[in-house]
Amino acid sequence: MNRNRNSWLIYVIIHVLFIGIWGALTEIPEKNGFPATLGYVVWALTMVPAALAALKWKGWKLDFNKRAILWGGLAGLLGAGGQLVLFFTLRIAPAYLVFPLLSLTPVVTILMAVLLLREKTGKMGWAGVALALVAIFMLSYQPAGATQTSGYTWMLLTAIPLLAWGAQGYVMRFANQIMPAESLYFYMMLTSVLLIPLALYMTDFTLPIEWGFKGPYLSAIIQSLNAFGALCLVYAFRYGKAIIIAPITTALSPVLTVGLSLALYQTVPHPVIIGGIALAIVSALLMGFEEVQG
């Protein structure tokens, strides 16, 4: 691995590109006839080579103590559970609506830290929370005659990964203090893989399934962007400053996802919804700065 002082920027760029593109494309295999549950299976499996690559760079050193397994497994369970629901959510709502809302996960993390740990947050944090509430209200706007989403169902479904990933951020506060990032990533991968039988059980194999390139193979390519993009973030934080990296990655990935998704859908949302998207991104940026300064 390149360990010079500027290597963090390379990892940040790769992360933003990979996660932003992944967000815009992840719903395509399901729309081609590849079930969301099987999309989860592919996603979990793509984490395996990324986790092994991380351990190799670490010299195959893995923390086996009970605390590492507990906190790493809990972080993985929250992340994987949210991911499984996300695949279903993208069946009824476009990525340009879902991902700005998901960028507000720091709201949950901040509120949990304030309520449970009695931590204090600054003006930027509370400003981000306030803007997030306005953004949610604006994103829920349903223009007359709109048919692009199933009422408010998409928001209820999106709330599940939003809460799960926000809680995951809270859990990772502890996990990062007791184990290296590579071990944490490994246990997150392991938990995701252990949920594969549940995803298979939830799959209706009596329905037609796309088994060609547009199904599992395309899904594997797209989900690999997520797996290795997340791994790049691990190394970005290792070689760079969190106060710079966190806001950049929090804000820019959703921007790229929204832009690509709008291009793919070839549509322009209602101005109120566009305003909600913009506010969500600004909110995430403010909370990103607050998180790294807190």
- Whether 193 has a pLDDT exceeding 70, the answer reads yes
**pLDDT given at position 108:** 78
Show the tokens assigned to 283.
Answer: 């909110």
pLDDT in tens, 203-239: 989 989 999 999 999 999 999 999 998 888 777 766 7
Contacts of 236 (CB under 8 A, 6+ apart): 8, 11, 12, 15, 245, 249
What is the rounded average pLDDT for all residues in the chain? 81
- For the four alpha carbons of 124, 126, 128 and 130, in that order, the dihedral sign comes to negative
Cβ proximity of 287 and 122 under 8 Å: no
Q: Which tens digit of pLDDT belongs to each residue from 269-291?
A: 778 777 877 877 777 777 666 65
With a cut of 50, say whether residue 2 has pLDDT above it.
no
3-state DSSP percent of the chain in helix, strand and coil, to 5: 75, 0, 25
12, pLDDT greater than 80 = yes
List, for residues 33-46, the tens digit of each pLDDT value: 999 899 999 999 99
- The pLDDT of residue 280 is 76
How far apart, in whole angstroms, are the C-alpha atoms of residue 120 and residue 129? 14
Q: Can you read off the two tokens belonging to residue 267?
A: 């549509």
Distance from C-alpha of 24 to C-alpha of 258, rounded to nearest angstrom: 7
Please tell me the predicted confidence (pLDDT) of residue 65: 85
**Helix 7-25 vs helix 242-265: angle between axes, to the nearest 10 degrees?**
30
Q: Which of the four pLDDT bands, split at 50, 70 and 90, describes residue 294?
A: low
